[in-house]
Structure 1
Amino acid sequence: MPTEYPCVVAIDFGTTYSGYAFSTRTDYKSDPLRVVSSTWAGTRLISLKAPSCILFRPDRKFDSFGFEAEDKYMELTMDNEHNQWYFFKRFKMSLYNSKDVHRTTEIHDETKKPMRAMEVFASAIQYLKDHAMDCIKRRVMHLHEEDVRWVLTVPAIWDDAAKQFMREAAVKSGIPDKHLVLSLEPEAASMFCKYLPVELLMNTQSGKISCFQPGSKYLVLDAGGGTVDITVHEVLKNGKLKELHKVNGGAWGGTTVDKAFIDFIEKLTVNLPLSEYMDNNKEDFMDMMREFEIKKRSATPNMDSKITFKIPISLFEWYSRNKQMELREAIKGNQSLSGKVVLAGDKMRVDCKVVESFFDKTCSEIVAHMKNIFSEPMAKDISAILMVGGFSESAMLQDAVKKAFPTKRVIIPNEAGLAVLKGAVLFGHDSSVITARIAKYTYGLKFRKIYDQKIHPKERLDESGKHIQGVFGKLVEVGQSTSVEDRQEKRSYSPLHGDTAFTIKLYASPEKNPEYVDDPGCFKVGEVYVDCRNRDGSIGSASVWLVFGGTELEVHAENKCGEKTQASFDFLE
């Protein structure tokens, strides 16, 4: 892969919002922070990111993305013409939630109609790619697509199958495979913040910020709309970064606060099935959630007045039809809500403590996982927490982190929501900044061993009676520091008689020393395919080795003549 491209474009495909940014090689060399990001116009605002919404026509052809898709779908629902259209939002989480991702995996739109996930993701990436190229060509003369390196961000907690799925979706969108790199979101954000001048970093203490000085260690909290990634970085003497703790996290992003609000509305309606209202009043429900998004972003700790939400009239009417009484009267008669919720017209006034409670579970989950990391010996000299990602802009989350870790310096860049996107551009210019990563699992290849009756169970014998099968051939151990420079031990394999290639099954385990691929906790990651043909077409054995230190697993092979031969992973079989 060439080390330099005239232009780098990064696409941050988020759960709730997406966007792109770019910089030329010339700009990067003169000022790494000279990164141009996209702007998007909605009906009510101008944003640096667009909603991750996509609309397909009844024939499943792409129609629109972002604010345009959201607005058009709302118009269709007003005319009751939406049922044959396909509208997807926040669909990125389907790759996290699914434990069995395939190329044929289907996801369901807002009206529960199925569509191939690969088509949905590829169409969204293609829209962002084309939009980016149109923008760049207006700024950079004589730039061709072959001059561009593309960077696609992915959560660090995603598994290998989800990463391969995103790569294949990007290639399907028209991005050449050899021009594409994946960037792990917390790593990208960390790279961006390393370049920021002190005045663009907000912190809880005065004085010089030293967490990016050689020898220092800091925790990265990347809180997005869907997922939260937590990792630890050390700054090396040469300014590069080394990962010290395997990435962990979960689905505790900003959308979980949305879920808490929806649960609250359902509680107000005395457990009527709110999904029924949502299905039949999509435009009003989307308007209500847009309103909540604004209130969510402005929520602060220790608010001293009630918060006003606009509630659709259709919700009151729906309640009256189902309960034969007014919602206002029901709330007045509910002692648990007395003084906490007041309805007047189409406005709902909610006690500030109730609004703060929408954040409680989410913030508690995030803080608990951070505490687990800080309790480990590796973390004893970590003095700073770097908060990035869109949800890190929430004053509620910031307050929860600062209260939980009063002795740590909490750093929030002014552009916390763009840190991942702009950092991904920097990663595209120089991916060598991250020198080492921690293995999330113990990885190994399935192979056979010569039977030894002293140590091997008889039931493991194969049909020949000479070998035991299903042995876990460990390649790298969970928690081990790995680098792209590390070369695993080569292992030689031969194809079956008459075959020109062979496949080896790759397994993983959270345990350090599994013996067999069916031990508790072990799972199949995918298969390694290797071509065994030599330059003259003859068939022989091939040596295989894997690289674990990159953002994606890599496999390499050479035939018995020492020539490089085709080798690839398939995690989506």
Structure 2
Amino acid sequence: MPLAGLNATATYVNEDHDNTHKESRPSVKVVAAIEIGTTYSGYAFSFAHDPNNVIINTNWLYGGSSTEIATKTPTIVLLDNKGDFHSFGFDAEKYYLSLTNHQGWRLFRRFKMALHKNCSLDATIDDLEGNPYPAIELFTTTLRFLNGHLLKALHTKSSTVLETEIQYIITVPAVWTDEARHFMKESAFRAGINKERLELVVDSEAAATWWTGVNIKDNPDINLQTSGSKWLVVKIGGGTANVLAYEVLPKGKVKVIQKASGGAWGFTNVEQQLLENLDQELGVGNLDKLRREHIGDYYELLQEIEDKTRSRYIFSQDACVVRLPYSLSQEVKKHRIQTAKIKTWFDSELSSFIDHIKTVLNTNLSLRELTNIVLVDRFAESMYVQNMLSDAFTELKVIIPQDPKLAVLKGAVLYGHNSGTDISNQSDSI
């Protein structure tokens, strides 16, 4: 059962943490968090006088029929045929599909995961057609757009807040190296965000911050304020999955007892598997030909595959039907694939992550008293994911907080308000 209500921002302690930077930083009136996700991005903020009232943008103009993701927008950048920034997110998606001539236009999607391979400042990322572009420019453009959108939303709430009075928090995956984190900070600086007002936080630690601020009205048997209680926070998103654990201390303080760790076990890998299966069925090379000759149709096919794999009803039928563009196949309009096969791809991703969780639990003796798993992020509401975790950890109860997809963003805001006594040295060192 989803949990509702906000109680109080938790305070994190870290014995090795130097708290001097909080005391020395200038006055902060607003904390703003930005999340560049593998598939979707967004922002949130709250004011210092009312930190728990976290404001999420709910006015993204989505092009599809789903309102489920209106609080975030696709991580998509569109450059015009002159190489200049044109649009981001749903707007970029919609405009790109409306073009009758795509020549010279460049669309980038799913580029966050590229930093797992190469995060040097001279790294490049391919656009949809396979042409390289400087990665640092792409991330800078993304942060500049999201920050600009954020500032407009903020000024509708208060016209007196100056940009120099905003503390920025940017979320990063636990699996990122120090080099990747430096890359993100450099992108933020180039986007105009003052380095004195910027902190990075690991996404699962941000989610834990939000979770420990939740007042569990629907389940009074669970008490977050019980000193000595221990919780496992599991985050499963589009590109990565990770886990951390914390313990409740006296006076409502919280201490991380297992740093965030994980891997690239996100479900975008399932989409790639389906795409490769389709390529084999249609004849290897046909999809590449579609991309070269009908890039708009190719992108619509990618959308179709994404919609199918993230549908909560994907396993409710024996087969999954993917609609094919006319330019790809004039004879075969649909591709049918047995859901049992798709399930093996999902199982592979989740099983690898479950094995990682088991390793964490077995090597950290202090985690043997855990009784609950808190599941957050994009796939937290998936019954398939919930059931696999419940079956793998029969002694633990799986709990889904309210708005699990927004736990990282909201938690990052709360983290920013408590920065300096917060969550763990993994975040404090970046």
Structure 2 counterpart of 1:414, from 399, 402, 410 = 402
2:253 is aligned with 1:240: yes
Task: Please tell me the residue identity of whatever aligns with 2:373.
Answer: I
**3-state secondary structure, aligned to 1:231:** strand
Q: Does residue 96 of the first structure (1) align with residue 116 of the second (2)?
A: yes
The alpha carbon displacement at 1:174 in A equals: 0.9
Q: Is the 8 A contact 1:188 1:424 kept in 2?
A: yes
1:282 aligns with 295
1:194 and 1:4 map into 2 onto residues whose CA distance is 26
Tell whether 2:57 aligns with 1:27.
Answer: no
The normalised TM-score by structure 1 is: 0.66
Pairing 1:359–2:377 present: no
Cα distance between partner residues in 1 of 2:258 and 2:159: 44
C-alpha distance 56-301 of structure 1, shift in aligned 2 (>3 A): closer
Aligned twin of 1:105: 123
Pair 1:291–1:85, CA change in 2 (3 A): closer
Match of 1:440 in 2: none
Letter of the structure 1 residue corresponding to residue 411 of structure 2: G
Q: Is the 8 A contact 1:288 1:312 kept in 2?
A: yes
Partner of 2:241: 228
Deviates more, 1:407-416 or 1:261-270: 261-270
Instruction: Please list the CA deviations of residues 384-418 of structure 1 after superposition, one character each: whole Å capped at 9, or x if unmatched.
Output: 11111113333322221111112111112231111
The one-letter amino acid of 1:179's match is: R
Does the 8 Å CA contact 1:4/1:429 hold for their aligned counterparts? no
1:552 matched to 2:422? The reply is no
Distance 1:307 1:133, change over 3 A: same
Q: How does 1:264-279 map to 2 (within 5 A)?
A: 264-272=277-285, 274-279=287-292
Measured in 1, the distance between the counterparts of 2:308 and 2:217 equals 28
The alpha-carbon distance between structure 1 residues 197 and 347, as it changes in their structure 2 partners (threshold 3 A), is farther
SS at match of 1:181: strand
The answer on whether the counterparts of 2:57 and 2:153 sit within 8 Å (CA) in structure 1 is no
Q: Flag the 1:300–1:399 CA change in 2: closer, same or farther, 3 A.
A: farther
Give the match's secondary structure for 1:222. Answer: strand
8 Å CA contact retained: 2:54, 2:413: no
3-state DSSP of counterpart to 1:387:
strand
Instruction: Point out where structure 1 has 5 or more consecutive residues left out of the alignment.
Output: 201-205, 318-325, 328-345, 438-548, 554-573
Contact 1:240 1:435 in 2 (8 A): no
* Residue 423 (1) aligns with residue 411 (2): yes
Higher relative contact order (CA 8 A, sep 6+): 2
Equivalent position of 2:316 in the other structure: 303
1:207 is displaced (CA, Å) by 5.8
Pick from 189, 194, 197 the counterpart of residue 207 of structure 2: 189
Say if 1:15 and 1:52, in contact at 8 Å, map to a contact too: yes
**Given that residues 156 and 247 in structure 1 are in contact (C-alpha distance below 8 angstroms), is that contact kept between their aligned partners in structure 2?**
yes
For the pair shown, the structure with the greater C-alpha radius of gyration is 1
Q: 1:208 aligns with which of 202, 211, 221?
A: 221
Q: How does 1:454-465 map to 2 (within 5 A)?
A: none
Amino acid at match of 2:413: V
Q: Distance in 2 between matches of 1:435 and 1:388?
A: 17
Once the two structures are TM-superposed, the CA of residue 151 in structure 1 deviates from its matched residue by: 1.1
Q: Secondary structure at the match of 1:434?
A: coil
CA drift of 1:62 comes to 1.4
Question: Aligned in 2, Cα 1:262/1:237: closer, same or farther, shift over 3 Å?
Answer: same
- Aligned with 2:159 (options 141, 150, 154): 141
Cα distance, 1:239 vs. partner?
Answer: 2.4
* Equivalent in the alignment of 1:291: 304
Match of 2:61 in 1: 41
- Structure 1 residue 350 displacement after superposition: 4.2
| Alpha-carbon shift at residue 436 of structure 1 (Å) | 3.9
2:27–2:165 CA contact under 8 A, matched in 1: no
Equivalence for 1:74? 97
The Cα of 1:248 is off from its aligned counterpart by 2.0
- Residue 127 (structure 1) aligned with residue 140 (structure 2): no
Give 1:435 deviation, angstroms: 5.0
Match of 2:362 in 1: 375
Bigger share in helix: 2
Shift of residue 301 of structure 1? 8.2
Aligned to 1:161: 179
- Give 1:565's aligned residue: none
In the alignment, structure 2 segments of 5+ residues that lack a partner are: 1-23
In structure 1, distance between residues paired with 2:381 and 2:310? 8
Query: Cα deviations across residues 109-160 of structure 1 (Å, max 9, x unaligned)?
Result: 1222222211111111000000110111111131211121111111122111
The CA deviation string for residues 250-309 of structure 1, in whole angstroms up to 9 with x for no partner, is 111121121122122123225455333333333223223323333333335863554443
Aligned length: 403
1:50 aligned residue = 73
2:230–2:371 Cα contact (<8 Å) kept: yes
1:60 is matched with which residue? Answer: 83
Distance 2:240 2:199 in 1: 21
The 3-state SS of whatever aligns with 1:414 is coil
In 2, are the aligned partners of 1:191 and 1:427 still within 8 Å (CA)? Answer: yes
Q: CA deviation at 1:66?
A: 0.6
| Alpha-carbon contact 2:318-2:340 (below 8 Å) kept | no
2:401 counterpart letter in structure 1: P
Cα contact 1:157–1:248 (8 A) shared by 2: yes
For 1:551 and 1:94, how far apart are their aligned partners in 2? 24
Q: Deviations over 1:8-38 (max 9, x none)?
A: 111111111000111111221xxx1443334
Which stretches of structure 1, 4 residues or more, deviate above 6 A after TM superposition? none
Counterpart of 2:137, as a letter, is: E
Match of 1:171 among 189, 207, 226: 189
Secondary structure of the residue that 1:218 maps to in structure 2?
Answer: strand
2:34 corresponds to 1:11? yes
Secondary structure, aligned partner of 1:242:
strand
What percentage of aligned pairs have identical amino acids?
Answer: 32
What is the Cα deviation at residue 189 of structure 1?
0.4
Q: What TM-score, normalized by structure 2, do the two folds share?
A: 0.86
Give me the whole-angstrom Cα distance separating, in 2, the residues matched to 1:280 and 1:392.
Answer: 38
Q: Find the counterpart in structure 2 of residue 506 from structure 1.
A: none
Q: Note if contact 1:241-1:433 (Cα within 8 Å) is conserved in structure 2.
A: no
- The 1:285–1:113 alpha-carbon spacing in structure 2 relative to 1, beyond 3 Å, is closer
